[in-house]
Amino acid sequence: MLDSPDSNLISKPAVTVIVPAYNVAEYITDTLASLEAQTLTDIEVLVIDNGSTDATPQIVDSFATKDSRFRRVLSTEVKGAWAARNVGLSLAKGDYIAFLDGDDLYLPTALQDLYTIGVADNADIVLTGFQKYDTATGMATPVPYGLRTDLMPRQHPFSARAAAKYLFSITNPSVWNKLWSASYIRAINLEFPPLAQAEDTYFTYLGLAQAHTISVLDKNPVLYRQRAQSLTNTISATTLDFVTAVDDLAAALRELGCFDLYSDSFRILVADSVLSWLNRAADSALFDDIYLKGQNLLRRYGVEASAYWIYASQESRVRGVLNLSPRQWRFENRRNQLANLDTLQPTGAPSNSLAEQFSATSVDVSIIIPVFNSAPWLAECLASALSQTGVNIEVICVDDGSTDKSPVILAAYAAADSRVKVFHQENSGQSIARNYAITKATGRYVLFLDSDDYYLADALAILVTQADAEQLDALFFDAVPFVDNKAFARQLPNRISYYQRSGTYPPVMSGPELLAAFRDNNSYLASPCLELIRLNFLKDNELAFYPQIVHEDFLFTFTMLVTAQRAGYLPIKLYGRRIREDSTTTSELSLKHLKGYWICYLELSKLLLEATLPPSVIPQTVDIVQEAWWHCRKIYAALPESELSQLRQFDTSAYAMNALRMLEWDSNHLKQPKHHRHSASDNPNRHHHGFGNKPKRQLPPVRSFADLKYRLYLVAKRFGYDSGPNKPSIRSFSDLKYRVYLVAKRFGYPR
């Protein structure tokens, strides 16, 4: 809500964010949403309203109404950003202070990362980089001059004196890509000068010059919006305040007795300021005015010697300003720019971009992320996806009715990066979210990424290159599991072996052959997150996730492999798998787990009866279907009778009812006392949901055609169908398939 400058604000937060705002209704919602989405929640946001006449006040008040961390402070006179920021400084309660313009954005972890470093180093200032966000194109591009680590001392943190030679070149003059210690600002009585423009130059560099501890966050978490009407993009002949800012800074440094210490760096600052403002001149009259003032400024501070230049081009351009007329300088500068462009981008130069091999606008990979209440991990997840290089990607996020801050985080990323596409649905489950995203995907391949996981490496281009080279329908890779909770640390060794396959495999195999090879090496893993899949293959075969069940991955991966004609595997550990409390794989046994495996078993059984598979893979495929059966059997034995009655409602076909009677009979021995069993069983309350800890088999394993014949005989005999393994005789795969048909028909499954 609206506060006056002398209002009592909330108790001391970690960071105060000061946002000057004047008629930015078109952008302020995105700006405040990016602050609302910060992973550092202990913040206050002071929006200093400079008398806006559009909807800015109403938008800010809407945030303040629902979140007490946001406050709008009315500045009684429209004096500009300098006055608004000074009002904010007088009200700030945080240990650290950040500045953000009313049209710019923070990535969700920006304040957390800056604050963590600031506290750890007890820093006066924390520097970081930024990206230019083009409103017209929606593209964000890192800016090299925002953070020049190559000009800094090797040891971090460092003092201003240690970086004296290039102090004013290690960062840009803007205040919004820095975190400032509030006690430090007050100790040196630092305020913004009354300038319509370039007030940042004075504040930033005078603050840097007196700092004892300067820390660095080597990232680009700030998005600076480029728009035609912003102050930094509009100048006039009456507001050439950069000259005043430079003169005032020089006077302050002399008063502090440190001008000589920073003289070389100061001269570079003068040169950069003049050249920068010349580039921003909108017309020739304004250019001529800046040129003359720039000449005087350069001469006043003796910017002629060549000992302190960072780039040779700086020296030549500055010498041109000192010795040429404005018209001559413009001509020479433009000619040099064109010459450099030809040198940097020669015609016909080969491209190393994988995307350019197909199309400059095509999408190589659609990364699909279903999201439900994932705020603590979502920023890390999205950042890892967006950091992939060498391929064109799109990130399709489907919010499955989240009730935490996940939608706000998604909105912030979508506003900052046009590759992020966000859709919302009522809570319907992960399967429906993934299926919907597939319909929106435009990539040649799809990847599935869970919203609490992330990519460990920049290796997606390697996968795409391999999949393209071998024309694969699916390419499998590995993961590295990690735990959020020490309670799960004891499971980690088993999880590591589960998520990292063993064995060697040819570059290309049929899907069923790869499935069988994985199974033979005890490396079959049903996780779509570890599969790069060709989109047209999915659509042509109408492959989708079974809706509203857990363990849907079990069914999807099996069906996909049985269908694929060309599949492969690369032993690349790209995926970081989070093992945490309350996830599907660690939660307590319940009816939903039984339902998931039960549906998987029924659907897989039907698929095997209908599929035409080579005999060599039959034992392994049957073994995987049997694994679903063992999970059903184990969970069935652990649940109370009151819940088991609901299992009949999931599938009422005759086939399912007969299979259910078989499950009831087969589970009874697990409910008997241990001394009545033929073999021991695991504790039924410990369930690892398919992580390689299956109950001990009561039937012999299926490793050959003969084993499969004998297994079929045992099943048939149990239900009184067959009196011997060779009635009718089984001498070929066709005979076996016919026997399976007869058994299925007996249990009511229609062919």
**HEC profile for 123-158?**
CCEEEEEEEEEECCCCCEEECHHHECHHHCCCCCCE
521, 503 Cβ separation under 8 angstroms: yes
Given a cut of 70, the residues of the chain with pLDDT beneath it are 1-10, 76-78, 135-139, 227-239, 282, 305-308, 311-313, 331-361, 484-498, 580-589, 669-751
Question: What pLDDT score was predicted for residue 323?
Answer: 82
Of 568, 359, 364, the C-alpha closest to 467 is 568
pLDDT tens-digit map of 383-425: 889 888 888 999 999 999 999 989 989 988 888 888 999 999 9
Beta strands in 263-364 (DSSP E): none
- Upstream peptide bond of 728 is cis (omega within 30 degrees of 0): yes
Q: Tell me, what's the pLDDT at 345?
A: 36
Half-sphere exposure of 745 (CA within 13 A, CB side): 7
Query: Residue 741's closest CA among 97, 46, 104, 733?
Result: 733
Encode pLDDT of 267-299 as tens digits. Answer: 989 888 888 888 777 677 778 888 888 888 888
Fold match between 1-229 and 359-579?
A: yes
Nearest to 718 by CA among 635, 656, 661: 661
DSSP state letter for 3: E
316/346 Cα distance (integer angstroms): 24
Question: Pick from 129, 103, 101, 104: which is nearest to 114 by CA?
Answer: 129
To the nearest 10 degrees (0 to 180), the angle between helices 591-610 and 552-563 is 20
Name the phi and psi angles at 57, rounded to 5: -60, -40
Show the tokens assigned to 297: 């400024």
pLDDT of 459: 84
pLDDT at 731: 57
pTM of the model: 0.61
Q: Which of 316, 318, 223, 336 is nearest to 278 (CA)?
A: 318
Secondary structure string (H, E, C) spanning 253-286? HHHHCCCCCCHHHHHHHHHHHHHHHHHHCCCHHH
Question: Could you tell me the two tokens for 169?
Answer: 């070149």
Q: Does domain 359-579 have CATH number 3.90.550.10?
A: yes
Q: What is the dihedral angle through the alpha carbons of 549, 550, 551, 552, rounded to the nearest 10 degrees?
A: 40
Contacts 24+ apart (CB under 8 A), 388-391: 388/455, 388/458, 388/460, 388/461, 389/458, 389/461, 390/352, 390/353, 390/354, 390/355, 390/458, 390/460, 390/461, 390/464, 391/354, 391/355, 391/364, 391/365, 391/460, 391/461, 391/464
Any idea how long the chain is?
A: 751
17-38: per-residue pLDDT in tens?
999 999 999 999 989 988 988 8
Pick the CATH number of 1-229 from 3.90.550.10, 2.30.40.10, 3.40.50.1370, 3.30.465.10: 3.90.550.10
> For residues 510 and 724, what is the distance between their CA atoms, to the nearest angstrom?
35
pLDDT at residue 75 in the model = 74
What is the residue type of 214? I
Structure tokens at 21: 């705002």
Cα 191 to Cα 645: distance, rounded to the nearest angstrom: 73
Q: What is the pLDDT of residue 710?
A: 63
- What separation in angstroms does the CA of 634 have from each of 309, 597, 643, 719, 737? 74, 11, 14, 21, 29
Residue whose tokens read 């975190």: 179
Residue 425: predicted pLDDT: 93
Instruction: Quote the CA–CA distance of 333 and 278 in Å, as a whole number.
Output: 11
**Residue corresponding to tokens 């979508």:** 414
Measured N-to-C along each axis, helices 618-638 and 654-667 cross at an angle, to the nearest 10 degrees, of 70
Domain limits of the chain? 1-229, 235-341, 359-579, 591-746
Name the DSSP class of 699. S
State the sign of the Cα–Cα–Cα–Cα dihedral 247, 248, 250, 255. positive
Helix axes 733-746, 591-610, angle to 10 degrees: 130
User: Any idea what DSSP says for residue 80?
Assistant: -
